[in-house]
Amino acid sequence: MPQVTIYTTPTCGFCHQAKAFFQEKNVEYTEYDVSTDVTKAEEMVRKTGQLGVPVIVIGEDVIIGFDQPRVASLLGIV
């Protein structure tokens, strides 16, 4: 399974939905809270050109927002 990273903030509802989906599907992921980690916030902006969360990185693919069908497809989840 490809490496999964999610950039989040504590108040982001779609971030919570994405993490719940990962937990339900037993997908391991690395989470960065960009509201407290300036370095990771800058990294996220370099990758996407924007500040919106969640940003989900699966392998080399970057998804802005929680597009569950695309996330599932990239992870090979039915």
- What is the tens place of the pLDDT at every residue in 9-26? 999 999 999 999 999 999
Whether pLDDT at 1 is above 80: no
Number of domains the chain is built from: 1
CB-based contact 4:56 (threshold 8 Å): yes
- Give the CATH number for residue 12: 3.40.30.10
Give pLDDT tens digits for 31-43.
999 999 999 999 9
Residue 54: which residues within 8 A CB-CB, separation 6 or more? 6, 7, 8, 12, 14, 15, 18, 64, 65, 66
pTM to 2 decimal places: 0.94
**Per-residue pLDDT averaged across 62-73, rounded?**
97
Q: What mean pLDDT is predicted for residues 44-51?
A: 93
Range of the domain at 22: 4-75
**Which tokens hold the place of 70?**
């695309």
